[in-house]
Each structure stands twice: as C-alpha cells, then as structure tokens.
Structure 1
Amino acid sequence: MTHGTHFTHRLVPAPAGRIHLVEQGSGPLVLLVHGFPESWYSWRHQLPALAAAGYRAVAIDVRGYGRSSKPSATDAYRLVELVEDNVAVVHALGEESAVVVGHDWGSAIASGSGLLRPDVFRAVGMLSVPYTPRSEPRPTEVFARMGDGEDEFYISYFQEPGRAEAEIEPDVRGWLAGFYRALSAETMPGPGEPAPYFVSPDGTLRERFPAGPSPAWLGEAELDHYAEEFERTGLTGPLNRYRAMDRDWADLADHNGAPLTQPSLFVGGALDATTSWLSEAVKAFPVTLPGLVSSHLLDDCGHWIQQERPEDTNRLLLDWLAGLPA
C-alpha cells in the first residue's frame, strides 16, 4: 500500500478551467490518465515506482472528475477537448513532451492524445482498452447491436442523461463497490451467472452485480476515497464521456483508420471482458500500432489492471519506458 507516500497536489490551467494533478519525482514526464469510474488515485501504486526510477510521474483527475473542472455541456467531454487538457498539463508543467499512459477510458484518451498531438506525446501506453482507430459505423450503433436479447448493453444504458445517475447517486458507495467487484478477477461472476454488462428492460446495472466481499485490492480506505469523490461531484461529468462518443466519431472523420505510430505498449487482463470484446483490435496491432514495443495479457487479472496487479504493471511500464528513445 502507498497511503503514507507523499504526493504533491496542484491545479493547473486548462481549456475548460483547471485540471487537478498529483505529482511525484523528477526526470522525463510520464502522464497517467485514469478511466471510469476512478480518479488520479487509481495510479497510487505507479506514482512512487515511476518516481523512484527517475521519472516525473503525474496523474490527473480527468475533466469532470475529482477536483478538476466540471463543465455542464456534453460537448465539453469530447476526445479533442480532453486531448487539449493533456497538452495543457504538459505545458503547465514546463515541459514540451511527455509519455502518456491510460487505463480504460484513459487508454482511449491517451491514444487519442498520441494520434492528434504527436508533437507533444512521444510514446503511448494503453491498459485494458486497445487502440481502435475510427471506423464505420458510429459508436452508438455498434453498442446498440451488443445487446443481449431484450437486455441493453451498459454503454447504451449510459447514453440517456440522468438515467444512470438516478441509479448510482442515491448510493454511490454501494454502487461503486458492486461495479469494482463485478470487473475484478477474484470477485467477478462465474460461468453461467448473469453478466454484469447488461441491463434488463426497466432494470439497473446494480441488479447484476455479484454479492460478497470486495476484492483484495479494494480495502475500506480505497473504497472510501472513491466514494467520497463521487458523492461530492456526482456522476454526470464522467458519464458524459460515454455520451460524447458520436461527437468524437464526427470530429475524427479525417483520421478514419489512422494508425498510431509512436512507440506503444498494451497491457490487458486475461479475464477482462474488454479483452474479448476488442480481440479484433488486438489482432490488428501490426497495422494499427506499427510502433508497438510490447503487448501483454496478465493471467488471472480483470479490468482494474494497475490496482489488481500493481507490481506486474510497474515492471512492464518501467521495462517499456527504459527502452524508449530519449
């Protein structure tokens, strides 16, 4: 655990207001971008390890999360806006370039940062979600087809403003505990049990979360941290990222099928459903990631890679970083 580790907290200017970041160490800049529903705290194990290895490690609260600004318009959560937040962080820290590493939605933000601003982001690391170039059809059409009979895929469920908030916000802590449990290797539903990625008509995601104790990586202190942040901020900002997907698709029309050419890293969990859903994206890496340095699947690992398997994640990150051009 790293609860006693000293982190430096800062707010820096960005296009939508301010971005909260946590910093440790000095040396080449490594920018860490979290996913849903998390915060900078998801990188608590990586920050000290990177700093000890001689890197300037910085983890942000993505726009809409934690102590960062929370614009109300859905358009404010488009990928192009979040990329510019990352650029603003790099420049606010007095740097010209950085390595960017993301998990879950943060992986898509990291790869988008590398694609749109290769002048700033010299290498890209992706955890859980592989690089998937823009293609036809639009994302909401793709996810609508991923329903299970009458049941709706969770990303489609998230599209209607206020709907998921009405489920989550009356009991943020309980919902987060169930969501984290559902996607963790040691507590996820077993074969034949209801999949937690679907919502029945007039139902909720919570109905399919597994009961029982939390996974080992999620103690009371960790759950308290996440719950307190989302109880204070609500979930609309984070959910607006899902609601901006079709806007991303329109914004990236000129980048259809474009490869990500920088040196890259992918780490997935062998038990993470994302690895199965996006298996074709992984197979396409020779074309879509011509600069790929290494790709790994961690056995007995679910979705929360850097928290479930911090030592393995740190080792893979540090090995990859050590081999990057200066």
Structure 2
Amino acid sequence: MSQHPVSAPTHRLVPSPAGRLHVVEQGSGPLVLLVHGFPESWYSWRHQLPVLAAAGYRAVAVDVRGYGRSSRPAATDAYRMTELVADNVAVVHALGERTAVVVGHDWGSNVAATSALLRPDVFRAVGMLSVPYAPPGGPRPSTVFASMGGDEEFYVSYFQEPGRAEAEIEPDVRGWLAGFYTALSGDTEPAADAPDPHFVTPGGTLRDRFPAHRLPGWLSEADLDVYAGEFERTGLTGALARYRNMDRDWEDLSGHEGAPVTQPSLFVGGALDASTTWMADAIDAFPVTLPALGGLHILDGCGHWLQQERPAETNRILTDWLEGLPGPAC
C-alpha cells in the first residue's frame, strides 16, 4: 500500500437538513465518511484521519447533529435515524461526491448501517465498530429495555427520559465523561464481579458505579478537555436525543424488518465491550444479515472505545478492508 502526502486536516461547515454540519477532512481519493457515537465527536477519529489520508482516501469525520459545531435542532424527533441518514447523504453531496464508504462507531455504527440499508445508491460499503448490525424489527425497543435489570434500570431507559440524564451530567461534564469513558475501557472497566455500570439503582445515578480518580490509557487530560469543552458548550440534550428516538426509529423502519445490508461490510468489536458481547446473536446472524461481510474482528482485551484504545490495530483493519473493496463507480 503506497503512502500519500498528508496535509493538515481542514474544518468546514456544510449544509444539511439539520442546518449545518461540521466536518473535518484530510486527504484525497475515494470518500470515507466517519460517524462517531455517544458521547463523542469528530475527535474520536483523530487517529484514523491521517492514516486513511496517507493510504489514499478522502477521510471525513462529521460532528453528528446535536454535537460539537453542528446544528442542534430543538425538536426531539429531529434526531430520528432517518434524519441522520439524510445528513450523511447531504455531507456526501456537499463534498461534491456521489458515493462514499461509511464507517461508524457506537451509535455511529447504527447510523452507518442504516445509511447503507436505506441509501445503497450512495453508500457503497459500510464498516461498523463496537455495535453489530441487527436488522430492523422485533419488539418495541422501550419495552425490551424496560424489562432488563430487574430492580435496576438499564442506562438506555434512564437516558430516554428528557432532562433526567442532563441533571446528572451537566453540573460536572468533565468528571462524568471521565467516569463514563473509564467504565467502558478495556484497561479500566470494573471487575466482572463489580456492580455493572450500565445499570442504575433506584434513586441512584449512573456515575455511582464509575471508577473514580483514574483515566484509561488511551485518554489524556488534553483529550478529555476537548470532549468536555464541547459538551460544556452545547449541553447533552442533542446527544441524548438519539436514545429518545428509538421507538420512532422502530416505527420508521418497520418496512425494512429483517432486511440485510448487502453491500461489502466490516465489523470490529472489543472482546470486553458489552455492546459487542450482549449482541453475540446478531454477530452469529451475519451470514444472513451481512451477506457481503469482508471481515469480522474481535480485539482481545479491548473495551468500547476501540478506535482510540487500539488505533494502530483498527487502522490496519480499516485500510486492509478498504484496499480490498471494488472502486467507486464513475
């Protein structure tokens, strides 16, 4: 694989149905759109942008609507999955391209997969990190989450009530983020026999179970300052709105129940990441749901933030997979 000269990343605002989206771009060549998850920003792809650029790609990391410097619509239903897919399409077109490979992490994985499902004319391949593809359908999400945890409450249900998680997080954004990142990192997550940080006790908060006074190896104080600075400025409501649309998504996508993603695909998960291990059945179904899967990688000892926890390994997997894809149509 030849190396290409890499210029500094450029920041720009592009029009979208949200209003404007902030994107960070590096390199030239076939477009690779990078979509972050919760609670992150374009910055979570900082290790991938220069490597993909050097490999001959136009790497573009987006601040999803509600995050960072992108627009933050006021209406909760403005954050439904179909709107985020429309944003991805708008970015591709605003950059003067017809097609792209889309790669997402965490919620970004769901957004990337749904983008490929709904707009195969635009997204010619899809990479998913941490959260495996599960086709639309099944029981209503809020019903499923409400049944989890017994006397405790699953974090998704906790996030779904407007204002509730904000009241926990926003008085100390930096401290909360530090605890959340630490709790889900392979090198610092609680022991297997410790209380699960994905659940809330009655009357409690999520941070009650976060490890305190430490950061994972991948996260410097300066990195934490970047994330905290963005959320201190924007608040958390736009980011949390993603969780508050899961039933709407279920309804919006009901016409695609059980549908596979047929484009070339990739999945990378962390062996210690609950997002991967809890969805083992979805991974087992990949021969049916991702018939063109070109790579399945589970990284030993890795937690949820895998492109930051294991940047070199993730970069190698991504560039090898991208190199094997058919070229974009002219």
Output aligned runs, 1:79-90, within 5 Å. 79-90=81-92
**Which residue of structure 1 lines up, in the alignment, with residue 157 of structure 2?**
156
Rounded to whole Å, the distance in 2 between the matches of 1:136 and 1:48 is 40
1:191 Cα deviation from its structure 2 partner: 2.0
Cα shift readout 1:128-165 (whole Å, capped 9, x = no counterpart): 00001112211111111222x21000000011100000
Equivalences for residues 206-221 of structure 1 within 5 A: 206-221=207-222
Q: Cα distance, 1:100 vs. partner?
A: 0.1
Q: TM-score, normalised by structure 2?
A: 0.96
In the TM superposition, structure 1's runs of 4+ consecutive aligned residues that sit over 4 Å from their partners are none
Q: Matches of 1:42 and 1:71 in 2, distance apart?
A: 23
1:16 equivalent in structure 2: 18
Letter in 2 for 1:290: P
Residue in structure 2 matched with residue 279 of structure 1 by the alignment: 280
Does residue 78 in structure 1 map to residue 80 in structure 2? yes
One-letter amino acid matched to 2:221:
E
Q: Distance in 2 between matches of 1:146 and 1:305?
A: 26
| Equivalent residue, structure 2, for 1:125 | 127
Deviation at 1:213, TM superposition (A): 1.6
For residues 191 and 252 of structure 1, the distance between their equivalents in structure 2, rounded to whole angstroms, comes to 36
Alignment of 1:95-174 (within 5 A): 95-147=97-149, 149-174=150-175
CA offsets 1:266-315 (integer angstroms, 9 cap, x no match)? 00000001112111000000000001011000001000000000000000
Q: CA deviation at 1:212?
A: 3.5
Indicate the residue corresponding to 1:314 in structure 2: 315
Counterpart position of 2:71: 69
Unaligned runs of 5+ in 1: none
In structure 2, what is the equivalent of residue 301 of structure 1? 302
Q: Which deviations, in whole Å up to 9, do the C-alpha atoms of 1:216-252 show, x marking residues without a partner?
A: 1100110000000000000000100000010000000
Deviation at 1:210, TM superposition (A): 1.2
Amino acid at match of 2:109: S
Code of the residue aligned with 2:35 in structure 1: it is V
- How far apart in 2 are the matches of 1:133 and 1:211? 37
The 2-side partners of 1:280 and 1:74 are apart by 31
Secondary structure at the aligned position of 2:193 is classed as: coil
Q: SS state of the match for residue 301, structure 1?
A: coil
| Structure 2 unaligned spans of 5+ | 1-6
Deviation at 1:6, TM superposition (A): 2.4
The alignment partner of 2:179 has SS state of: helix
The residue number in structure 2 matching 1:178 is: 179
Percent of pairs with identical residues = 75
Question: 2:8 and 2:215 mapped to 1: Cα distance?
Answer: 26
Classify the secondary structure of the residue corresponding to 2:15: strand
Computed over aligned residues only, the root mean square deviation of the Cα atoms, in angstroms, reads: 1.0
CA distance in 1, matches of 2:243, 2:292: 28
Which SS does the other structure have where 1:18 is aligned? strand
Write the letter of the residue equivalent to 2:34: L
3-state SS in 2 of match to 1:244: helix
Confirm or deny that 1:246 pairs with 2:228.
no
Number of paired residues?
322
Alignment partner, residue 260 of structure 2: 259
